[in-house]
A and B are shown apart, each in its own frame.
Chain A
Amino acid sequence: MKKTIVAFLTTVLIFTACSSEEGDKPSGRANEKLAAKFGLTVFEYENGIGPIKEKLNIPAEIDQIMAQSGKEIFDAKCTQCHKINERYTGPALGDVTKRRSPEYIMNMILNPTEMTQKHPEAKKLLGLYATQMTFQNVSKEDARKILEYLRSVSN
């Protein structure tokens, strides 16, 4: 019993610690430990769980054509829950590319259920918004376009 409580407290502490570090880049060593705590690989901890399993090569410059196409998909499939600058059913996404890695964003779009079951950050957001994000039947390419759109509106 005591052990459980200790474990629970530890988790809470780590959880809290982790959230306070949001936006920062914790050292590789710290992430290794955290990832292990949550039963994730370091990649998964940093970049989400899902079909994107390695770092993508994303040029710094925004591909406007891709972003425009991403906006169309976003308008059709995401705007019922997400706005750029205000909280709605889900969080505002204007600053999401600053908060999360590109791979994380794509994994969240492509694999929301598993993300909210296993990833500490996604779990936390589920607790906060109380609504399970749904998979909106977008392909990997679509998710990449949505990412480009979110990069283009980054504020």
Chain B
Amino acid sequence: MGVIIVSAAFSGCAPSNEEGDFSGAASKVYVAPGKYDEFYAFMSGGFNGQLTVYGLPSGRLFKIISVFSQNPETGYGYSEETKPMLMTSYGFVPWDDAHHPELSQTDGVPDGRWIFINANNTTRVARIDLSTFETAEIIEIPNSAGNHGSPFVTENTEYVIASTRFSVPVPNRDVPIDSYKENFKGTLSFIKVDPEKGNMEIAFQILVPGFDYDLAHAGKGPSHGWAFFTSYNSEQANTLLEINASQNDKDFIAAVNWKLAEKYLAEGKAKKINTEYYRNYFDEDKQKAFSEKRSSVYVLNPKDCPGMIYYLPTPKSPHGVDVDPTGEYIVAGGKLATVIPVHSFSKMLKAIENKEFDGEIDGIPILKYDAVIAGEVENPGLGPLHTEFDGKGYAYTSAFISSEIVKWKLGTWEVVDRIPTYYSIGHLMIPGGDSKKPWGKYVVALNKITKDRYLPTGPELCQSAQLIDISGDKMQLLLDFPTIGEPHYAQGIPAEILMKRNKKFYELEKNSHPDKTASEKETRVERKGNEIHVYMTATRTHFKPDNIEGVKVGDRVYFHITNLEQDWDIPHGFAVKGLNNSELLIMPGQTKTIEWVPQKEGIYPFYCTDFCSALHQEMQGYVRVSSKNSNVELSFN
């Protein structure tokens, strides 16, 4: 009886469990042993700071890529080689909140070279190399706080764009918080990406009024050269935003002509502002990360740059901003809006030409709503947030409050289908769904809550993704699967694009790590003052050296371990008893270093943590640690 009441009560406030015919769904997601998934899906780890890789349609988890958070599984952020990746102007920051993965694009289509992802908290953007599935670079964004509207790419990955959710004083300084209107500013950042190597540099920032800039997307096709940013809190409130930032009937999408901004930059219209931020990168040949400090950034002020930026009025507290595959429509999702407003890029250009303005804010003209709007989608569900496209003329919008995906037609703005999600969907993802050429076979719902969906696992339940078939007229739920952390946003790409580029091991010949041990003949242990450097090799099925004596309490011992294997999928692990930071997982051909400071005398075994062969258990050794004043000679074999 209790069950019936509960389920009845539940149905009242949330979508009921799906009904209907599920025969055939299982076979659509079944990927037989030895067969590959059709797509890779890259899902943000949200508050766990990583990026997770899943197969679609199976929903199988392939990998957790370490990005902004230390990972004891691989030693990322713990090993001497990777610690510099997490350096910031606030010191070493070993975690973050990662939200929006974004694949690099060529001619508006994901090209499988890199994927970018933002850190909200200590404002950073990372670039992951998709040949290795490893983080290659992290750049800090100065003059920003809450790096949420980030990192979205332009059509040829000329720029990664990033906007700040929390406006702050620029440059940051000690001011009363109630001087918000006077002192707080937003910034829109344009990070230049080297077309060959992918290296990132902040080319310029645009100083904008102190609203909250929430999300972004770049134009494409006819709107290539423009970028769009949503904002809320045009009231510029600084307390109780829940009420105070919901006063205005309309907030804005900021439309930025970045090609014009480039021109103004070249003409010297930007001001150089002193600030401090880091760029960290991983040198694959040296197998080592490096940190570089930057001390200034170029900032453009709209007042000095006419025509560079316009505001499109958008109801009400808009969240997502999505550009359709043709590049003509700019769709806004408003948390509090009752319709989905769709702006027209061509109408926007005409309105600019005809100066159809409704005032301006800090030198930024506000365009007339009626002059730029292409249409409004009626009855789009409660809390429409994000829209992706299938490339066949349809748009799919997530509705957070009513927990559903709503399918509607571009041009007629009619809702044609809807499907419930479980529950509280945020973003949604169609592989290539924010590009010029979506692979419109599936949509993935990225959900916040899974109450009564999975077996209970304690007070916290896993979050979830749901795979929905969009190949027919009606959306069909195929599968739901749990995720690691918060699957905030995701990107998908056909696996065959990435498989061709996949690196299978690191070539020993290219390893130019300064502490590499090229062969067993070079293995050795050296003392430099109170530092001990162990140059060790790992291979199936032994370490060399495997016995070390003459280490003293308090010595800083650095194990520099080179994995001599050149065969795919033979990493070796390393751990020594009492290691205070992490183990290591060393890929074939790689060198990694971990620091160990023994505190007590005794014998310390070390071993390989990654099962590597029948004689894996024999892959072990000992370190003898003697007292500080002992005269045990340094020796090894």
In the docked arrangement, what's the CA distance between A76 and B509, Å? 9
B299 in the interface, Cβ–Cβ < 8 Å? no
Given A75-B521, A80-B520, A131-B615, residue A89 in contact with residue B566 (CB < 8 A): no
The docked-state distance in angstroms from the alpha carbon of A135 to that of B615 is: 18
In-complex Cβ contact of B544 among A76, A77, A80, A131 (8 A) = A80
Tell me which residues from 552 to 599 in chain B have a Cβ below 8 Å from any Cβ of chain A. 564-567, 570
Say whether A130 faces chain B, with CB atoms less than 8 Å apart: yes
Q: Does B296 contact A (CB under 8 A)?
A: no
User: A89, B541: Cβ atoms under 8 Å?
Assistant: yes
Q: Is the CB of A80 within 8 A of B615?
A: no
Q: Would you give the shortest CB distance from B502 to chain A, in whole angstroms?
A: 15
- Which residues of A, 133-153, contact B by the 8 Å Cβ criterion? 134-138
On chain B, the residues within 8 Å of A154 by CB distance are: none
Q: Does B357 contact A (CB under 8 A)?
A: no
Assess the A76–B541 pair: CB atoms within 8 A. Answer: no
Q: How far is the CA of A103 from the CA of B590 in the complex (A)?
A: 31
A58 to chain B, nearest CB (A): 25
Contact in complex: A131, B540 (CB < 8 Å): yes
- Give the distance to chain B from A143, nearest Cβ to Cβ, in Å: 13
How near does chain A come to B513, taking the closest CB pair, in angstroms? 15
User: How far, in Å, is A112 (CB) from chain B's closest CB?
Assistant: 9
> B519 touching A79 by the CB < 8 A rule?
yes
Q: Is the CB of A135 within 8 A of B519?
A: no
Q: A127–B537 Cα gap in the complex (Å)?
A: 25
In the complex, the answer to whether A137 meets B564 with C-beta atoms within 8 Å is no
Which chain B residues lie closer than 8 Å to A135 at the CB level? 566-567
Given that A77-B508, A77-B564 are contacting pairs, would A132 and B540 also be in contact in the complex, using a CB cutoff of 8 Å? yes
Q: Which of A75, A80, A136 contacts B537 (CB 8 A)?
A: A80
Residues of A close to B541: CB separation below 8 A: 89, 131
Q: Which residues of chain B from 505 to 536 have any CB-CB distance to chain A below 8 Å in the complex?
A: 505, 507-508, 518-521
Q: Is B295 an interface residue (CB 8 A)?
A: no
Q: Please, which residues of chain B bring their CB within 8 A of the CB of A134?
A: 540, 565-567, 570
CA gap between A129 and B575 in the complex, in Å: 26
Nearest-CB residue, chain B, relative to A112: B567
Of the candidates A80, A89, A137, A138, which one forms a contact with B519 in the assembled complex, judged by CB atoms under 8 Å apart?
A80
Q: State which size class the interface on A falls in.
A: 10 to 19
B564: chain A residues at CB < 8 Å are 77, 80
Is B539 touching A80 in the complex (CB atoms < 8 A)? yes
Asked whether A81 is an interface residue with its Cβ less than 8 Å from the other chain, the reply is yes
CB distance from A81 to the nearest CB of B (A): 6
B368 at interface by CB-CB < 8 Å: no
Q: Mark A71-101, 1 if CB is under 8 A from B, else 0.
A: 0000111011100000001000000000000
* Most chain B beta carbons < 10 A, residue from A75, A89, A136, A137: A137
B614: Cβ under 8 A from any A Cβ = yes
> B interface, how many residues as a size bin?
20 to 34
Structural contact, B566 and A79, CB atoms closer than 8 A: no
A88, chain B: closest CB distance, angstroms? 9
For A80, give the chain B residue with the smallest CB separation.
B539
Chain B residues within 8 Å of A75, by CB: 519, 521
CB contact between B505 and one of A80, A132, A137, A138 (< 8 Å): that residue: A137
Cβ–Cβ < 8 Å partners of B520 in chain A: 79-80
Chain A, 41-92, CB within 8 A of any chain B CB = 75-77, 79-81, 89
Complex Cα distance A132/B537, Å? 18
Name the B residues within 8 Å of A137 (CB-CB): 505, 507-508, 566-567
Interface hits, A5-20 → B, CB 8 Å? none
Residues of B within 8 A of A81 (CB): 539-540
CB under 8 Å from chain A, chain B span 593-635: 613-615
Q: Is the CB of B566 within 8 A of A136?
A: yes
Q: Which of A77, A80, A136, A138 has the most CB of B within 10 A?
A: A80
Q: Report the separation of the CA atoms of residues A134 and B564 in the bound assembly, to the nearest whole angstrom.
A: 11
**Distance (whole angstroms) from the CB of B391 to the closest CB of chain A:** 41
* Closest Cβ neighbor of A113 among chain B residues: B567
Contact indicator A132/B613 (Cβ below 8 Å): yes
Task: Pick the most buried of B521, B567, B615: most chain A CB atoms within 10 A of its CB.
Answer: B567
- Residues A77 and B615 in contact, CB atoms below 8 Å apart: no
In the complex, chain B residues whose CB is within 8 Å of the CB of A138: 566
The answer for the CA separation of A81 and B566 in the assembled complex, in Å, is: 13
- Name the one of B508, B521, B566, B613 contacting A131, with C-beta atoms under 8 angstroms: B613
A134→B539 CA distance, assembly (Å): 10
Residues in B lying within 8 Å of A, measured CB to CB? 505, 507-508, 518-521, 537, 539-542, 544, 564-567, 570, 613-615
A-B interface, 9 closest residue pairs, ranked by CB to CB distance from nearest: A137-B566, A134-B567, A80-B539, A136-B566, A130-B614, A80-B520, A80-B564, A76-B519, A135-B567
22 A–B contacts, CB within 8 A, in A order: A75-B519, A76-B508, A76-B518, A77-B564, A80-B537, A80-B539, A81-B539, A89-B539, A89-B542, A130-B613, A130-B615, A131-B613, A131-B614, A134-B540, A134-B565, A134-B567, A134-B570, A135-B566, A135-B567, A136-B567, A137-B566, A137-B567
Known: A131-B541, A131-B613, A132-B613. 5 other contacts (CB 8 A): A81-B540, A89-B540, A130-B613, A135-B566, A136-B567
